[in-house]
Amino acid sequence: MSLKSTLRAATALTLITTGSAFADAHSATITIATVNNGDMIRMQGYTDTFTEQTGIAVEWVTLEENVLRQRVTTDITTKGGQFDIMTIGMYETPIWGANGWLVALDDLSAEYDVADILPAMAGGLSHEGTLYAAPFYGESSMVMYRTDLMEAAGLEMPTAPTWEFIAEAAAAMTDRDNDINGICLRGKAGWGEGGAFITAMSNSFGARWFDMDWNAQFDTEAWANTLNFYKDMMDASGPAGYATNGFNENLSLFNQGKCGMWIDATVAASFVTGDDSTVADSVGFALAPDNGLGKRSNWLWAWALAIPAGTQQEAEAKQFIEWATSKDYIELVAANEGWANVPPGARASLYENPNYQAVPFAQMTLDSILSADPTDSTVEPSPYVGIQFAAIPEFAGIASEVSQEFSAAYAGQQTVEEALAKAQDITNEAMEAAGYR
């Protein structure tokens, strides 16, 4: 089964009802909310295997990333009960687990082997040592670049580049006559879209969201340097309309041969080197850039499966989670689509497997994940845990508003200075209302 065939089988709102067990009127049905990225869509294409094995039918609600976050957050906070499994990440899981909104995954089977989950992933998906979501895949971020364009520009990508080099290379690789942009980066509004990228980038410029007294820090030189550098580089070497581009839009541009470099999730590596990429044979990888301040601009994330408290299908939901995040699922994908296409970044055993060690981006992915430290992400001390987010309940709402101001600046609708001033006010007002200040 190819990725292309699974993409055809799963669209934005997908109901998968396959397997002979579905004909049984007494079989259980679980509803899963997930994000519309390639790995999740691939998983939907294999759901018939799960249904045949268990008799449990699956209904999929597949949504764009920003919409998914809004839908599952609304459902969990209002106890809406629409979903038996939610796809969430390292931001939501500890907070929702602490609130009692998620079912603890502390009774998974011995065969599942919880101890095999990479510590960085298990730690980020736990509260007080209890796992509340199982990682389908884990990721950091890294540079993906066109080796042919880099060579033609007379440059060589370092294993650990600086932002100065990235801007130089982007300018050298840009070819407007042939619709080639030197660099593609997220600019789309949303705390987990462009907001995540610029926050991780800002760490390497010495910026932070808050000082130790929870005062907003957008009126600093470090944040001004971050946004001005980003906007200057993207205006000169990025694609038209970059202010509205997120992960999926940039993936499409890169695979069409329209990007010299793309800095984004390590999980994208299998797609830019896969059958749907026109440049698959000329892609290289490097660590996310830094500025010599001791912090790189890579993040840490997992798309994980969690069970909302109050579901009527808890046992069935746990069965699905064990299946979808298991070693056996990895073997299933490898057997059908090759080791390069298995969900990465979640299990230690994957990186001990010689078959996977031969995948060209495997080691760089692992190195990027291991170099990301959510407890020490900023140059100056900060009061929060998190790299591309601050792990407090208020962050998602604040950062969504801030990211909209940043995107407006990228689009030329206001200046960087105006965007930062608004971000400062938005953040301080919200933190004061929440009782932090």
The pLDDT assigned to 27 comes to: 72
Residues contacting 132, CB < 8 A, separation 6+: 93, 94, 96, 97, 102, 103, 104, 105, 125, 126, 306
List per-residue pLDDT tens for the chain, 437 residues long: 444 444 434 333 333 333 333 334 347 999 999 999 989 999 999 999 999 999 999 999 999 998 999 999 999 999 999 999 999 999 999 999 999 999 999 999 999 999 999 999 999 999 999 999 999 999 999 999 999 999 999 999 999 999 999 999 999 999 999 999 999 999 999 999 999 999 999 999 999 999 999 999 999 999 999 999 999 999 999 999 999 999 999 999 999 999 999 999 999 999 999 999 999 999 999 999 999 999 999 999 999 999 999 999 999 999 999 999 999 999 999 999 999 999 999 999 999 999 999 999 999 999 999 999 999 999 999 999 999 999 999 999 999 999 999 999 999 999 999 999 999 999 999 999 999 98
Burial of 281 (0-12, 13-18, 19+ CB in 10 A): exposed
The pLDDT assigned to 239 comes to: 98
CA-based nearest residue to 332, from 122, 35, 28, 48: 48
CA torsion sign for 91, 92, 93, 99 is positive
The pLDDT assigned to 265 comes to: 97
The DSSP annotation for 241-283 comes to: TGGG--HHHHHHHHHTT-EEEEEEEGGGHHHHTSTT-TTGGGE
**In this structure, are residues 333 and 352 in contact, taking their beta carbons and an 8 Å threshold?**
no
CA dihedral 39, 45, 50, 56 (to 10 degrees): 110
- Rounded to whole angstroms, how far apart are CA atoms 202 and 389? 11
- Rounded to whole angstroms, how far apart are CA atoms 86 and 76? 9
- Rounded to whole angstroms, how far apart are CA atoms 437 and 349? 45
The pLDDT assigned to 405 comes to: 98
Token couple for 269: 């590596």
The 8-class DSSP code of residue 175 comes to B
Token couple for 186: 């997220």
Q: What is the pLDDT of residues 160-176, one digit of tens each?
A: 999 999 999 999 999 99
- Rounded to whole angstroms, how far apart are CA atoms 86 and 70? 12
Q: What is the pLDDT of residues 335-371, one digit of tens each?
A: 999 999 999 999 999 999 999 999 999 999 999 999 9
- Rounded to whole angstroms, how far apart are CA atoms 95 and 98? 5
Q: 103 by DSSP, 3-state: which?
A: coil
Beta strands, E only, 369-410: none
- Bridge partners for 304 per DSSP: 88, 135
Residues contacting 20, CB < 8 A, separation 6+: 52
Output the CA–CA distances (angstroms, integers) from residue 103 to 303, 391, 402, in the order listed.
Answer: 17, 20, 32
Of all helices (H) and strands (E), which one includes residue 16?
Answer: strand 15-16
The pLDDT assigned to 3 comes to: 43
Token couple for 17: 């009802």
The pLDDT assigned to 437 comes to: 87
